[in-house]
Amino acid sequence: MTSRAWLVRLGETGQRESTALKEGLAILGWSELGDLGACESRTDIAAMVAENYPHEGKATLSNWTGQLWRFLQEIREGDLVVCPLKTRQTVAVGRVTGPYRYESDADPGFRHVRPVEWRRTDIAKTDIEQDLRNSMSSLLTVCALSRFGAPRRITHLAEQGVDPGPTPDEMVMLEGFATPHELLDAVIANSTGEPIRLTIRDFLKRWGVTRRTSASVARIEVDLGAKGVTTRPSFTEGWFDSVIELLPVGEEPESIKEIPSQSLQPDVEDAPDLPAITLRVGVLESANKGVASVRLEDNLKIAHTKMLSGKYSQLAVIDENGTLRGALSWESIGKASMRGQKLRTVSDAVDRTASLVDHHEDLLSQVNEIYNKGYVFVCDSDRKVTGIITAADLTQQFGHLARPFVLVEEAERRLRRRADEVFNVDELREAAPRHLATRVTSANDLMLGAYKHLLASPARWSRLEWPLDHALFLELLELIRAVRNELMHFAPDPLDEETLTRVEGFIEMLRIVDPRP
């Protein structure tokens, strides 16, 4: 069985390399931390890290905790360790021979160690294929090397000194766009000083997903954490087509360099510690598309023209500093006119009670305000207006989220009705999971996935008397089941149009073969 492989960096400048090779050790820094040997969980390590590095942000603390936990517990005796050597411009490979220990007599920055039997210390970097070298470029001090057959290839490196390269199976990639690993490697290797930027939609595509469900977010978080990459702002929030930045984070404290264009701000949250998904104001497209505006001193005719030509019910009133001063609406103009005011400029009819809501706010908490007022303006962290949410936008958003539930529910009801007409209780129970079978008294008690088992038999399928292809129907039924399962895990994003179209087609097919309402 091939051992697991780990990258362990021996200092930003290679300051721990000589001691590590001479004494047969893998050595970490984190000089402010004492003995980690008594830590039984990540929580224990997190507490020590937070106590000893009180001025670091949440993203960095969480990332460091993960690296230290790997070194302490996840790396096991017999695993391979790879160390790119900066002082020699070669790569060292060894095997871990024992557990973590704390060398209290060693110099600060040399006390956290694992014993290693170094097998080779002179492997030329040119003898390693580019894909594996890219994997070794992580800024993390400790990370797993697993993709493209890394453990097998590193074993060969230790024995022969040459990288045999990946097999065709190990080179499988997502078709049509870059893999997650390619994207994250690009973030780590980026030397331009400018962070990589892309929309949340394009970011998710790298993982082959179209919605931010709990399962897809968890998978992405693991990959980000393993590479020491985070997003700003969090990819779990915001409109689907808003832009995020990908930034490296997680170098050990003794290695941190100031990179002005990529320095982490307070709004950066570490991948393994991202906030729970909820429906935020910023998830709506209209909250991110800007807003038509006028100034207080503008002639009211300018406002009239903008509102009529753009079919706007209201305009933001913004001063020269970008600060919201109120709103102008047909209602506010009408009220001002009824008060007998002579209306010349926007200031004569402005509604100064307009609400300004941060894009991170919980959308549900703003529902009453939006319906009562008709709208709210949305701002970013600098209090600059980024968009407007109207009652119509709210209705549309909830329609997008509710529509798939309604469609799937109709599919289930139509299947249940026909199944109850055709099959007896014993046949229905045979289709249910064994531990739930005794609870089945009708088709209403079947999960959607059970229909695939119920209708798998051609004989049973024929009893439905539907003029449809059996195999293709089961394929479509599996799609509906997958959609239903995904809908049960809340996501702020609607189904993509292609999937929604296929669900609608399935429903229409059922309506045709059984036209009863």
**CATH pick for 283-383 out of 1.10.490.10, 3.40.50.620, 3.90.380.10, 3.10.580.10:** 3.10.580.10
Task: From residue 376, give the alpha-carbon distance in Å to each of 304, 360, 367, 369, 438.
Answer: 20, 14, 10, 7, 53
The average pLDDT across 143-164 equals: 86
pLDDT of 269 above 80: no
Q: What is the mean pLDDT of the chain?
A: 84
> Are residues 224 and 271 in contact, defined by beta-carbon separation less than 8 angstroms?
yes
CA atoms of 472 and 492, how far apart (whole Å): 31
CA atoms of 194 and 132, how far apart (whole Å): 24
> Are residues 209 and 217 in contact, defined by beta-carbon separation less than 8 angstroms?
no
pLDDT of 160 above 90: no
Strands 243-248 and 196-199: antiparallel
CA 399 centroid distance within chain = 24
The average pLDDT across 231-239 equals: 81
Categorize the per-residue pLDDT at 199 as very low, low, confident or very high, splitting at 50, 70 and 90.
Answer: confident
pLDDT tens string 301-332: 999 999 999 899 999 999 988 889 999 999 99
Nearest to 267 by CA among 366, 140, 139, 380: 380
The average pLDDT across 407-419 equals: 90
Domain ranges of the chain: 5-170, 180-278, 283-383, 394-513
Nearest to 300 by CA among 352, 347, 345, 351: 345
pLDDT at 257: 44
pLDDT at 179: 76
Categorize the per-residue pLDDT at 132 as very low, low, confident or very high, splitting at 50, 70 and 90.
Answer: confident
pLDDT at 512: 94
> Are residues 445 and 475 in contact, defined by beta-carbon separation less than 8 angstroms?
no
Collect all residues with Cβ–Cβ distance below 8 Å to 69 and sequence separation of at least 6. Answer: 42, 45
b/e per residue 74-99 (b: at least 16 CB within 10 A):
ebeeebbbbbbbeeeebbbbbbbeee
Which element (helix H / strand E) includes 238?
A: none
In the chain, % of residues over pLDDT 70: 90
Categorize the per-residue pLDDT at 195 as very low, low, confident or very high, splitting at 50, 70 and 90.
Answer: confident
Categorize the per-residue pLDDT at 181 as very low, low, confident or very high, splitting at 50, 70 and 90.
Answer: confident
Say which CATH class 5-170 falls into: alpha beta
pLDDT tens string 62-98: 788 888 999 999 999 999 999 999 888 899 999 999 9
Task: From residue 234, give the alpha-carbon distance in Å to each of 203, 261, 271, 289.
Answer: 12, 18, 8, 19
- In this prediction the pTM is 0.54
CA atoms of 91 and 146, how far apart (whole Å): 17
What values do phi and psi take at 24, rounded to 5?
70, 55
Categorize the per-residue pLDDT at 190 as very low, low, confident or very high, splitting at 50, 70 and 90.
Answer: low
Categorize the per-residue pLDDT at 105 as very low, low, confident or very high, splitting at 50, 70 and 90.
Answer: very high
Block residue for tokens 């990908």: 246
pLDDT at 125: 84
Of the candidate ranges 18-27, 128-137, 461-470, 501-510, the one whose mean pLDDT is the lowest: 128-137
Longest distance between any two alpha carbons in the chain, whole Å: 93
Beta bridge partners of 247: 230
Which element (helix H / strand E) includes 26?
A: strand 25-28
Q: What's 498's DSSP letter?
A: H
pLDDT tens string 6-30: 999 998 888 999 999 999 999 999 9
> Are residues 357 and 377 in contact, defined by beta-carbon separation less than 8 angstroms?
yes
Beta bridge partners of 357: 378
CA atoms of 486 and 213, how far apart (whole Å): 7
> Are residues 314 and 328 in contact, defined by beta-carbon separation less than 8 angstroms?
yes
Sheet holding 324-329, edge to edge: 293-294, 314-318, 324-329
CA atoms of 342 and 198, how far apart (whole Å): 50
Pair of tokens at residue 39: 């830590």
What values do phi and psi take at 223, rounded to 5?
-65, -40
The average pLDDT across 177-181 equals: 68
Nearest to 352 by CA among 325, 312, 371: 325
* Alpha helix segments (H runs only) across 389-424: 391-422
